[in-house]
Amino acid sequence: MRISIGADHRGFPLKQQLVPWLRSQGHEVADVGTTSDQSTDYPIYASQVARQVAQGQAERGILVCGTGVGMCITANKVRGVRATVAADEALARVSRQHNNVNVLCLGEKTEPAAAQKIVATWLATEFEGGRHSRRIDEIAEVERAESQVSNKC
């Protein structure tokens, strides 16, 4: 699977551990940065990863910041992205099954072994479709309606 990954300075150490692990699992990884633990702004990396996912350049995205929340908020601003913060495997699983989440956000304090389990579960879980497809379509309709309102302003 092609995965785009990004982090701010706080998420940098965990990202640096996830990238080689993802590659060892057979995934193609596009690392958009950051490249150090020097202070930087998370929206830069969240928007890059989200755009790659929305444009089909990556099948999924992973973002890491202090809590995962800022990355999640930013990624969800990109049309076609459904991002979530997942602190455990159960949340990662249901986010895929029910919401077809395509960007996973993690907090920097997540232990690497736990992060690997969360990511592995998220990557392996398929969208269930069915009644959930209708809801995903409704989310897309909200996005379309909001973009039309924004374009009129």
Average pLDDT over residues 130-135: 95
> Among the options 9, 65, 72, 132, which is catalytic?
65
Alpha-carbon distance of 94 to 80, in angstroms, equals: 19
Confidence (pTM)? 0.95
Average pLDDT over residues 105-127: 98
User: 57 CB contacts (<8 Å, ≥6 apart)?
Assistant: 2, 4, 30, 51
Alpha-carbon distance of 146 to 144, in angstroms, equals: 5
Domains of the chain, each with CATH number or no CATH:
2-128 (3.40.1400.10)
SS3 88: coil
Average pLDDT over residues 61-80: 98
Question: What pLDDT is stored for residue 128 in this prediction?
Answer: 96
Q: Which token pair is 110?
A: 């997540």
Confidence tier at 113 by pLDDT (50, 70, 90): very high
Q: Which token pair is 19?
A: 């990238």
Asked if residue 20 has pLDDT above 80, the reply is yes
Question: What pLDDT is stored for residue 153 in this prediction?
Answer: 61
Average pLDDT over residues 30-38: 97
Average pLDDT over residues 28-51: 98
The residue among 30, 55, 59, 33 whose CA lies nearest residue 45 is 33
Question: What pLDDT is stored for residue 148 in this prediction?
Answer: 81
132: annotated active-site residue: no
117-130 burial: b if 16+ Cβ within 10 Å, else e: ebbebbbebebeee
> Among the options 98, 105, 132, 153, which is catalytic?
98
65: annotated active-site residue: yes
What digits encode the pLDDT tens for the residues 86-112?
A: 999 999 999 999 999 999 999 999 999
